[in-house]
Structure 1
Amino acid sequence: MEFSPFNNVIKLCLQGMSLEENNKPDEAAGLFMQAWEEATNDHEKFLAAHYVSRHQKTVSEKLKWLETALENALKINDDTVKSALPSLYANIAQCYEDSGNAEKAKENSELALELKNNPSDKGPFYHGTKADLQVGDVLTAGGNSNYKSEFKMNHIYFTALVNGAGLAAALAKGDGKERVYIVEPTGNYENDPNLTDKKFPGNPTRSYRSESPLKIIGEAAEWVRPGTEELQKFREKLEDSKGEIIN
């Protein structure tokens, strides 16, 4: 299922999250339950159950809804959903720990760690920048941020969505041409924690980071460039950042 704000279940979840942010948890819980009741496929049921679980009053009820979310997630062969599994298993582990079941807590914690360290997404991957690079060059961590030159980057970031890399290129500092390179990770990589599970479970933007270099293996010719207004909103967010969303 394509992630779309026009999908009614996703729309209800978005409205519920807005109510959460405005400190209206009971109203939010009602919308999440409505989303569950209107869900018609595994993806919608996975999303709705995830949000319903957050508003349960007891550990046993929270565990029931988390396991319902997991049950539906496991039926879906989609990297944006698979990326939610580490968080789901970690939350389930916490429920078992809180209820005194150390064996089940350990089992689920180990699953969470294994999946976190082995993302299922195999790309292709992209990196957006204004730097003029060549096939065979490598991108390494430790340089200055593309967005705030005062920050040193501990990781190198990339995405499996070409339009996401195009946005990164548009936001990058400098006057050079916007470039989107096709890259190949040379070591382990993980879901970008600045985005993963912040709002929707998993990694719907398919964004990753690595401490190991990325090798440039090609260049993308086409992507959807963001509009002026959209670009300005992202620039304002970066200006307000103290580094936590870009490093």
Structure 2
Amino acid sequence: MSKVLDDGPFFHGTTADLRVGELLTAGRRSNYRPEIVMNHVYFTALVDGAGLAAELAAELAEDHPLPRVYQVQPTGEFEDDPNVTDKKFPGNPTRSYRSTAPLRIVEEITEWTRLSPEQLQTWRDRLSALLSDERGDIIN
């Protein structure tokens, strides 16, 4: 029996236009390092955390698609995301997780806190600095 990490609800931020019932799967390119194909699909229990991920993904995409947030349901076991938890930072204050199993789309969330252009630039700068540091390597 596996330990329950979080009861959710859970959210995923993306630029993809998805429908209820669709599955998000691993094997897609990283939003932050497109040369890396991800072995996991990532999600959080914080709707605004998913919104941040969606906005950063949209900013990094060439065509700047619309950022979207979806409520998702894990279909299998999941673990703390080591990119933002104990392997790099203490605990899991972002309630961020990853799974090799698909996530089922429950619904699109339209109410989440959008970042101002200044806040988005601050996050882009942080992400750029982190990715240029050896600690910024993606744990895949």
Q: TM-score normalized by structure 2?
A: 0.83
Counterpart of 1:178 in structure 2 is 67
| Larger-gyration structure (1/2) | 1
1:188-216: CA deviations, max 9, x gaps?
A: 1001112123444x211100000111110
The one-letter amino acid of 1:161's match is L
- Where does 1:55-204 land on structure 2 (aligned, <5 Å)? 118-172=3-57, 173-174=60-61, 175-197=64-86, 198-200=88-90, 202-204=91-93
1:209 aligns with one of 92, 98, 121: 98
Query: Could you tell me how far 1:233 is from its partner in structure 2?
Result: 2.6
Query: How far apart are the structure 2 equivalents of 1:152 and 1:230?
Result: 28
Matched, 1:237 2:126: yes
Give the alignment's Cα RMSD to 1 decimal. 2.0
Query: How far apart are the structure 2 equivalents of 1:171 and 1:246?
Result: 19
Q: TM-score normalized by structure 1?
A: 0.49
Percent of matched pairs sharing the same residue:
58
Gaps of 5+ in 2: none
Query: How far apart are the structure 2 equivalents of 1:147 and 1:215?
Result: 23
Query: How far apart are the structure 2 equivalents of 1:119 and 1:195?
Result: 19
SS in 2 for 1:136: coil
Higher strand proportion, which one? 2
Higher helix proportion, which one? 1
Contact 2:29 2:36 in 1 (8 A): yes
Contact 2:5 2:79 in 1 (8 A): no
Runs of 4+ in 1 over 4 A off after TM superposition: none
Query: Could you tell me how far 1:246 is from its partner in structure 2?
Result: 6.6
